[in-house]
Structure 1
Amino acid sequence: MTPEPATPPTAPLQLTRQQMQALGEQALAMVIDHAENIREQRTTTSLSRREAMERLQTPILETPTPPSELLELLARDVFPNAFRADHPRFYAFVPSPSNFVSAVGDFLTSGHNVFSGHWLASSAASQIELTVLEWLQQACGYPADAGGIFVSGGSMANLSAIVVARETRLGGHDRQSVVYYSDQTHSSMSKGLRVLGFSKTQRRMVASDASLRLDIDALAAAIATDRAKGLRPFCVVANAGTTNTGAVDPLPALADLCDREGLWLHVDGAYGAAAVLHPRGAAALEGLGRADSITLDPHKWLFQPFEIGCLLVRDAQAMKAAFRVEEDDHADYLADISRHIQDDVNFFERGIQLTRSFKALKLWLSLRTFGVAAFRQGIQVGFDVADFAQQWLEASGQWDIVTPSQMGIVTFRWRGPGMSPDAVDALTARVVDRLRADGYATVMSTLLHGRPALRLCPIHWDATTGEMATTLTMLTRFAEEDIARR
Structure 2
Amino acid sequence: MSDQDDPRPFPDPAQLPEVPPDTLGLDAEEMRRLGHKVVDMVVDRAMARGQEPAIRTGDAADLRDRLGGPLPEAPGDPDAALELMAEVALAHQQHGDHPRYFARVPGPAAFAAILGEWMGTGFNTICASWGGASGPATVELVALGWLSEMLGLPAGTEGVLLSGGSMGNLTGFAVARAEMGPGVAYLTDQTHASLPRNLRALGFAGDEIARLPADARWRMSAETLRAAISRDRAAGRRPMMVVATAGATNTGAVDPLPEIADICASEGLWLHVDGAYGAPAAITEEGRAALAGLDRADSLALDPHKWLFQPYDLGVCLVTRPGALERSFAIHPEYLRDVREGAGEVNFGDRSLELSRRSRALKLWMSLRTYGAARFRQAVRDGIACAETAEAMLRAAPETWEVVTPAQLGIVCFAGRGADAAAHEAAARALAESGYACVTTTSLGGRSVLRLCTINPLTTEDDLRGTLDRLAAALAAPPAG
Q: State whether TM-score is above 0.5.
A: yes
Alignment of 1:293-372 (within 5 A): 293-325=299-331, 331-338=333-340, 340-372=341-373
Spell out, residue by residue over 1:187-224, the C-alpha distance to the aligned partner (whole angstroms, 9 max, x if none).
11111111111122211111100000001111111111
CA distance in 2, matches of 1:469, 1:381: 16
CA distance in 2, matches of 1:103, 1:482: 45
Farther off after superposition, 220-229 or 455-464:
220-229
Residue 444 of structure 1 aligns with which residue?
A: 440
Contact 2:395 2:401 (C-alpha < 8 Å) held by counterparts: yes
Q: 1:370 offset after TM fit, Å?
A: 0.8
SS across alignment from 2:66: helix
Residue 396 of structure 2 aligns with which residue?
A: 395
Which of 476, 479, 482 lines up with 2:478 in the alignment? 482
CA-based RMSD of the aligned residues comes to 1.4
Residue 77 of structure 2 aligns with which residue?
A: 66
Which of 458, 468, 474 lines up with 1:472 in the alignment? 468
Which of 243, 251, 257 lines up with 2:263 in the alignment? 257
Residue 48 of structure 2 aligns with which residue?
A: 37
1:115 pairs with 2:116: no
Spell out, residue by residue over 1:388-411, the C-alpha distance to the aligned partner (whole angstroms, 9 max, x if none).
111111111211111000000000
Contact 1:241 1:248 (C-alpha < 8 Å) held by counterparts: yes
Q: Which amino acid aligns with 1:482?
A: P
Identity of aligned residues (%): 42
CA distance in 2, matches of 1:152, 1:426: 35
Q: 1:139 offset after TM fit, Å?
A: 2.5
CA distance in 2, matches of 1:58, 1:27: 24
CA distance in 1, matches of 2:24, 2:401: 59
Residue 3 of structure 1 aligns with which residue?
A: none
Farther off after superposition, 246-255 or 370-379:
370-379
1:133 pairs with 2:144: yes
Residue 241 of structure 1 aligns with which residue?
A: 247
Q: 1:10 offset after TM fit, Å?
A: 4.4
Q: Runs in 1 of length 4+ with deviation above 3 angstroms?
A: none
Q: Cα 1:60–1:9, aligned 2, differ >3 Å: closer, same or farther?
A: farther
1:270 pairs with 2:265: no
Q: 1:179 offset after TM fit, Å?
A: 0.8
1:220 pairs with 2:222: no
CA distance in 2, matches of 1:390, 1:75: 36
1:435 pairs with 2:431: yes
Spell out, residue by residue over 1:251-272, the C-alpha distance to the aligned partner (whole angstroms, 9 max, x if none).
0000000001100000000111
TM-score by length of 2: 0.94
Show structure 1 runs of 5+ residues with no match.
Answer: 1-7, 417-422
SS across alignment from 1:325: coil
Spell out, residue by residue over 1:221-244, the C-alpha distance to the aligned partner (whole angstroms, 9 max, x if none).
111111112111111000000111
SS across alignment from 2:402: strand
1:99 pairs with 2:110: yes
1:229 pairs with 2:235: yes
CA distance in 1, matches of 2:130, 2:28: 32
Spell out, residue by residue over 1:273-309, the C-alpha distance to the aligned partner (whole angstroms, 9 max, x if none).
0111111111100000000011111000000110000
Q: 1:158 offset after TM fit, Å?
A: 0.3
Q: Which amino acid aligns with 2:440?
A: M
Residue 379 of structure 1 aligns with which residue?
A: 380
Show structure 2 runs of 5+ residues with no match.
Answer: 1-18
Contact 1:92 1:456 (C-alpha < 8 Å) held by counterparts: yes
Q: 1:432 offset after TM fit, Å?
A: 0.7
Spell out, residue by residue over 1:338-395, the C-alpha distance to the aligned partner (whole angstroms, 9 max, x if none).
4x22111111111111111111110111111111111111111111111111111111
Contact 2:272 2:298 (C-alpha < 8 Å) held by counterparts: yes
Q: Which amino acid aligns with 2:403?
A: I
Farther off after superposition, 49-58 or 227-236:
49-58
Contact 1:148 1:316 (C-alpha < 8 Å) held by counterparts: no
CA distance in 2, matches of 1:389, 1:115: 43
SS across alignment from 1:482: coil
Contact 1:443 1:456 (C-alpha < 8 Å) held by counterparts: yes
Residue 167 of structure 2 aligns with which residue?
A: 156
Q: Which amino acid aligns with 1:37?
A: A
CA distance in 1, matches of 2:150, 2:240: 27
CA distance in 1, matches of 2:301, 2:86: 35
Residue 415 of structure 2 aligns with which residue?
A: 413
Spell out, residue by residue over 1:314-352, the C-alpha distance to the aligned partner (whole angstroms, 9 max, x if none).
0131111111216xxxx11111234x2211111111111
Contact 1:381 1:463 (C-alpha < 8 Å) held by counterparts: no
